[in-house]
Amino acid sequence: MPRFRSFLLVSSFLFALGGATVSAAQIQGPAAPVVAGLATIYPELDALYIDLHQTPELSLHEEKTAAKMADRLRRLGFEVTERVGGFGVVGILRNGKGPTVMLRTDLDALPVEEKTGLSYASKVTAADDSGATVSVMHACGHDVHMTSWIGAATLLSKAKDKWRGTLMMVGQPAEEKGGGARSMLQDGLFTKFPKPDFAVAFHDSAQAPSGTLAYTSGYALANVDSVDLTIFGKGGHGAYPHTTVDPIVIAARTVVALQTIVGRENNPLDPAVVTVGSIHGGTKHNIIPDEVKLQLTVRSYKEEVRKRLLAAIERIAKAEAAAAGALKPPQVQVTDGTPATYNDPVLTKRVATALSQAFGASRVLETEPVMGGEDFSEYGRAGVPSVIFWVGAVAPEKYEAAKKAGTALPSLHSPLFAPDREATLKTGVSALTVAAFELLARP
């Protein structure tokens, strides 16, 4: 299958095909009879999507969202367990001897004020973990994921005569905080319930036309670590710097020195990012402060690279402080992040081949990994072959207009992000159904 550096290269395929929307009738291959029921259930799915979009809930507060998912699964005949690792939902549909296939969706939304102007835009506000009132929006498309997940569960449950095995539906909380998958695993996801033979998920893309799919074999998303660095000095009057140890100067030297980790210590063939995203220190022009705080995001794929980056950050910070005669070493705190997402190559090839057969090879393309993070990675690390793929979410006409004008499309997490609703949902439902059907046994 063709490989491309960016989804921005796919429009020539799409417009040659006359548009991006893929109807159930166009799906080819073994799953076609299963997906054929999508047209019938779509109005109900569309209503569910609008409801989810209008009623988003923050990470660790997904109570009503989880209840909606649980209720839908029960009505489809699944054995449902709620409050797994927080507000996690697990639905089990046993259908004879065969593999256990896990389909995962995330449930949570973001503290973002929606500015799309849609008639069904979110107007929800809620208290965040600090108690502050914030606007809430599904700015990352988790409402697309949930609706497609329910759609796939519906189609597969109505076609039990065509497959054998166990379908395991997992609704995961707190993906945006990076801890939901870990919490569910710690609460017995793979011990209280069947440990799946395969785990599958997708994420919508704000940079690709609807009707397109993409995948990456091997590393697909990065290790993500947050580092809080506090540099201590000795404050005083700005007119008498010789009586102080200036932490702002130490911080400046540290920021520059940190750039040498990727530039001079890391193998150029191993992707890595060390970004200082925040620096705060001081209160007034003529006061040298006692301390400066920095916040870093650190990205990598390989675990050995991850460890080396974090160790180098601490080493350099301490060395710069010591060189300046700081009275005590800096404080370095690493917040637990998300591990790199590794798509099992054998499983990825199998799923990509099935998707290509179903949608057409020109719509299913291989793409490069990205430095974003996803805690779907935890399931693979727990010993389950896993794959996550991408579903385009941009209306083709908007995509083409942005391309011609050279303007940027609204990204995920943007208050302006608005998926091309029908085309994205139909593609998401179909793709998830095709992937699951490929992995389940035939009667």
Strand 331-338 to strand 223-232: parallel, antiparallel, or no bridges (unpaired)?
antiparallel
175 is catalytic: yes
Listed residue (312, 324, 299, 307) closest to 231, CA to CA? 324
- What is the Cα 362 distance to its own chain's centre? 25
- 3-class state of residue 341 by DSSP: strand
Record the tokens describing residue 148, joined without a space: 């497609």
Dump strand ranges (E) for 223-266: 223-232, 236-237
H or E stretch at 440: none
Q: How many CB atoms lie within 10 A of CB 344?
A: 18
CB 131 within 8 A of CB 50: no
Of 57, 106, 143, 175, the active-site residue reads: 175
Whole-number Å distance between alpha carbons of 372 and 298: 11
CB 196 within 8 A of CB 100: yes
Strand 272-281 to strand 213-215: parallel, antiparallel, or no bridges (unpaired)?
unpaired
Cβ-count burial 353-380 (b if 16+ within 10 Å, e if not): ebbbbbbbebbbbebebbbebbbbbbbb
Listed residue (297, 334, 285) closest to 314, CA to CA? 334
Strand 3-4 to strand 125-127: parallel, antiparallel, or no bridges (unpaired)?
unpaired
Of 106, 108, 176, 225, the active-site residue reads: 108
DSSP string over 155-217: HHHTTGGG-BEEEEEEEES-TTTT-HHHHHHHTTTTTTSPPPSEEEEEEEEEEEETT-EEE-S
For residue 173, the one-letter residue type is P
CB 313 within 8 A of CB 227: yes
Whole-number Å distance between alpha carbons of 43 and 267: 52
- Catalytic positions are 108, 175
